[in-house]
Structure 1
Amino acid sequence: MTEITPFYQKNIECLSCKNSFRTTKIRSRFIKLRCHETDFRPVYQDEKINPLLYNVNVCPACGFSFTDDFNRYIVPAIKTEIQEKLSAQWTEQNFGGNRSTLEAINTYKLAILSGTLKREKSVTMAGLYLRTAWLYRSIENEEQENRFMTLAMNTYTTAYTNEDFTGMGMSETKILYLIAELQLRLQKYREAASYFSKVLSKQKNSLEPRIVEMARDRWQEMREDYRKAT
C-alpha cells in the first residue's frame, strides 16, 4: 500500500507563456497550525510542512512567477514587456520540488518582479511583500524582515487609499488593522495609533469583531509600552 505523504505534485499552466509544469503543494490534512501572530503570520507545528513555502508557482521555462491571487489575464503589451524584462534574462531552473525557506524567499522575489511587470493590484503586491517578511522573520533576519514589512505597509496604504482591495478577500477592517500593526512593528507609533483608531471607529458596523478586538488589544499594549518608556 502506497504511503500518502504531505507533499504532492500539481499541474500548473503559466499565465505568461502557457507552458505546463508541475510544482509541489501540501495536502491540507497534514497542515497543523499552532497559532497566528498579531500580523496574521501563521505558525505551523512543523515548519517544513508550511504552505507559505509553496504559495508561488514558478514557470521553469520563462521565469514568470505567480500565486492564486494574480489576475489570470495579461494584456498583450504587458506580455511583451514580461518577455523582454524577465523571460529573455531567465536561465531555465526548476523550483517545483521541496523548498527551503531561502528558496521560497527567492520565489516570492520572482513573484514580486512578475507582479510588478504585470501591474497586479496593490493589495496583491502587499501580500507578497508581507509573506516575504514572514519568511525572513522565520530565519531571524530582522533587517530584511523590516525592509519587506515597510514595503507591505506602504503598499497596503496605497491599496486602501485607492480602494484597490475590494473583491480581493480583504475587508476594510482587516486592511486598516494590518497597516496599523505593521506601523507598530516598525515603531511608527503615532501612525499606528491613528490607524488603530480608524479600526475602532468602525466597530459598530464591522463584520469582523475579532479583528476589532485585536486592534483594541494592540492599541492598549502600545499605550502601556509608551507609558513605561516615558
Structure 2
Amino acid sequence: ATDGAEIWRVNGMFRNTRWGGNGVIGDSIIATMDTYDQRVYAIGKGPSAITASVGPKSTVEGASVLIEGMVTDISPGTNTYEVAARFPNGVPAIADSNMSAWMLHVYKQFEKPTDVTGVPVDIYALDANNNYRHLGTTTSDLSGYYSLDWCPDVPGKYTVYATFAGSAGYYGSSATTAFVVDPAPEASPAPTESPPSAADLYFLPLSIVMLVAIIVIGAVVILLLMRKQ
C-alpha cells in the first residue's frame, strides 16, 4: 500500500502488551508477539502446494477423464501439532477475500467459516502432437479439493499441468501428471443374413404340405365312417 489504505485486517488474532513491544515489519513480513500463547508470529505471504492426478490413467478416444487434486497452505505454522492434528489432509489454500476469518479459524480455533472459496487452478495439457493448450480453469473448495473433467480429442500420451498462479496471500505452485488415450476400437461390421438352407427351402415346406394332406385324408375318412353309420 502506498496511500495508507487498509489492505488486510484480522481482529482478535493477537494480544499485545507494553512490555512485549509493538510488531515490527521487514522484508514484507510482520513479526509480533501474542500474549495469549506467548509465541512470536510472522505474518506474510506464504508458500502453497498443489497436487494433480488423472483418472483413469488409460482411456479410449471419446471417453472423458477427471483431473483432480488439492491446493494447500504449507506455511511453517501449519506444521505445528495443534494445526496439523486438526487438518490431517493439510490446511486448504483460501481466497484472499476470506483470509481474515480463515486465519482465525486455523490458528486461534475460531468457528469455521462456511462462506469461503478456494483459489483458482488452471489446467494445461501437452498432447501427443506437442500441442500445448489450456483445458480450463476451476476453483478449489473449502477442503482444498479441485477437479475438472475433460474429453481428449486425439489418441496418445497427454502430460497435464495443474497451476495455481498465486495470490496476495500465497506464492504459486504447480504439479504434473500424465495419462494415455488409446484409439477408439473400430466399429463391428453389421451382421449379414445367412442364405436359407436346403431344409428351409425344401424340407420344411414339404413337411407342411404332407401334414396338411394327412389332416385332409383323416377328415375324409371320418366323414365316410359317419355316413356308413
**Normalised TM-score (structure 2):** 0.21
The structure richer in strand per residue is 2
Higher normalized contact order (CA 8 Å, seq sep 6+, divided by chain length)? 2
Greater Rg, structure 1 or structure 2? 2
**Normalised TM-score (structure 1):** 0.21
